[in-house]
Structure formats: structure tokens, C-alpha cells
Amino acid sequence: MTVAVGSPAPDFTLPTDQGELSLAALKGHPVVVYFYPKDDTSGCTREAIGFSCLADEFAKAGTTVIGISPDTVEKHGKFRVKHKLTVALGSDPDHKVAECYGAWGEKSLYGKKYFGIIRSTFLIGPDGTVARTWPKVKVEGHAEEVLAAAKAL
């Protein structure tokens, strides 16, 4: 179950490769939280690069972008450097934050079922409520769509 539009965004504090990051500290400004399965995989890399390429536009809209995966802070650091990423990358190894947002669940690959991150994005308004959700994200064009929604807040 994902968090609903209009509901309070679940608060979190996570380590990043650049220090600790707290959603509560960002209240008063729009925030994009996107969940992705794994650093340095094809789709996840394209998604992170997409958000990073639009970082200046998100900043002009007063919006912070945070990517969250179960990967370690160390892996996030290597991922950031390798692909020149500018978005914050939160480490959620026990997937507690992902579970709060409904971004952790059963998946299937080649008929094998397993649990993992469900690629999804949440736009949180300045008041701390969820303004928009994108469950089961398709990477192509996604960052642009999220930017348009952030600008419309």
C-alpha cells in the first residue's frame, strides 16, 4: 500500500554519502523522494542521471530531490562519482523507509518471486503532505514529468 495523495509524508532520517538527511529538515519546501532498486544498474543509473541533469531546474523550483535505495553509503558515493550525480542518495538497507511509502513489495523476475524496491516516486508539498505519486515508474521521461509537477505546486 502506497501513501495516498493528501496524506502526511512519512518522516525519515537517512545516512547519505554526504552526511545525514532528514525530511523534517526540508519542510517548507517541495521534496521529490524516489525509490530505486540498486546503484549502478541500467534503469537506476538512467533515472539518477535524469534527475541530476535537471538539478538546476528543480533548484529553481525550490525542490530538493532525494533518491533512496537499500545500497550502502559507500556504494552511493561510488555511484555518485562514477556518474557525476548531483541528487542526494539515502541509504535504507533495512528498507524501513521504503516500507512506509509502500515502495517495498513482492516482485517477479523470470517467474521467480522475491521482495524488493518497487520503483516509485513521491512529490511532497511544502506543507509536508504528499502532492503526487508515481507508482511503478517507467524511467524514460520520468524526471521531466516530476519536474513539471514540482513547478506546478
Q: In Å, what is the CA distance from 26 to each residue of 31, 33, 54? A: 7, 12, 19
Which residues are catalytically annotated? 44
- Residue 1's pLDDT is 59
The pLDDT value given to residue 108: 84
The sign of the dihedral angle between the CA atoms of 33, 63, 29, 150 is negative
CA dist 49 and 143 (Å) reads 9
- Would you state the pLDDT for residue 139? 94
Measured between alpha carbons, how far is 118 from 48 in angstroms, rounded to an integer? 15
- Contacts (Cβ under 8 Å, ≥6 apart) of 121: 32, 33, 34, 35, 133, 134, 137, 142, 146
Mean pLDDT, the chain, integer: 95
Predicted TM-score of the model (pTM): 0.94
Please give the grid coordinates belonging to residue 93.
538497507
- 76, three cell numbers: 552511493
| Concatenated DSSP letters of 95-139 | -HHHHHHT-EEEEEETTEEEEEE--EEEEE-TTSBEEEEE-S--S
22-60: pLDDT as tens digits: 999 999 999 999 999 999 999 999 999 999 999 999 999
